[in-house]
Amino acid sequence: MMAFRRSTPQGEHRPVMLSEVLEALRPAPGNVVVDCTLGYGGHAVELLTRVAPEGMLIGFDLDQDNLPNVERRLSETGGLFAIQHGNFAGLASAISEHSPEGCDCLLADLGMSSMQVDDSSRGFSFKRDGPLDMRMDRSRGQTAANWLATQTEEVMARTFVELGDEPQADLIAAAIVRERNEWPINTTKELAKLIQQAAPVRVNPVPLPGEAKPWQQKLRPTARVFQALRIAINRETGNLVELLRVLPSCLKPGGRAAIISFHSGEDRLVKSAFRDGLRTGAYSAISDEPVRATYEEKGRNPRSRSAKLRWAVRTG
């Protein structure tokens, strides 16, 4: 059971596509808002500030390490809030407990937070050497190292294609199997080196307009495989499917939802669910195309470059 706490104002923190999120959700004083993926709390702080003092925020985060920082930041905004350790699979029960009529606004910012990327002990980044963990919740589940040690070559290749869009998935999976038959793959540096040797990239030394820089081109297979591993380890696809299933019933009539995705597979799921909801009458309006970050924000924050935001409005 989540306990609500009261808070007092604090400074500004701007997360990915903040202006676009606020435009899509339009939070107002007294609203009930939900943040399915708290992270550092950047979106949550801004949402709670706009619905305070009578509104409330319900937040979730699978990473328990994030919660103390989030609680501290939310405790300075002047609103009523409750946070829960867990993923948004518990959304329906939390809504039922605290706002049986539903919520006015709901946000899900998928993927990982910058804090997780910067912590080498978490194993999310191939740019920092550390143990191959990748679990959002380190209290349960198997690590990425264990997953690589136990999956078949076919399963790995399929995962790298479906969750990472990696065209050289077969070569990388075969290299992993060969390597693990000799030595265990336990660190991010070991895996990154293996991928780069198994899937060399033809780099354009003089990038065309809009094309990635040479070093970015070289690292693309590594980035895709790391992304696929993270999604698989944390069962992110299944969690998203469940969220999309229960979402209409969790929104009040006229309630608004926004989902930010960073992977084409996730975006396809959101697009399909919203279009189905529009066709069946669950939603009265949806975004025709994904909303992208501005050119200026992409320059300030590399994480926003692949972000796609889609929104939907519950039928009133």
Same domain, 248 and 155: no
Maximum distance among all Cα pairs of the chain, rounded to whole angstroms: 61
- For the stretch 75-132, pLDDT in tens is 888 789 988 887 776 788 888 888 889 999 999 999 776 667 767 888 888 888 999 9
Mark whether 109 and 143 lie in a shared domain: no
Position 6 scores a pLDDT of: 43
Asked whether the beta carbons of 314 and 256 are under 8 A apart, the reply is yes
Same domain, 249 and 110: yes
Q: Which residue, 215, 233, 251, sits at the end of a domain?
A: 233
- What's 219's domain CATH number? 1.10.150.170
Q: Which of 233, 251, 285 is the last residue of a domain?
A: 233
What confidence score (pLDDT) does residue 173 get?
Answer: 97
* 248 and 304 co-located in one domain: yes
For residue 224, give its domain range: 138-233
* Amino acid, res. 119: D
Q: In the structure encoding, which two tokens stand for residue 280, read together?
A: 């069946």
Separation between Cα atoms, residue 3 and residue 59, nearest integer Å: 12
Q: Is residue 119 part of a domain?
A: no
List, for the chain, all residue ranges whose pLDDT scores fall below the cut of 70: 1-14, 89, 113-115, 118, 201-219
Whole-number Å distance between alpha carbons of 192 and 221? 9
pLDDT at 195: 95
At 174 the pLDDT is 97
For residue 245, being part of any structural domain is answered with yes
The burial of 295, by beta-carbon neighbours within 10 Å (0-12 exposed, 13-18 middle, 19 or more buried), is given as exposed
Cis-peptide into 53, omega within 30 deg: yes
Instruction: Give me the pLDDT at residue 11, please.
Output: 34
Model pLDDT, residue 315:
96
Residue 13: predicted pLDDT: 43
CATH code of 14's domain: 3.40.50.150
Q: Which of 181, 205, 233 is the last residue of a domain?
A: 233
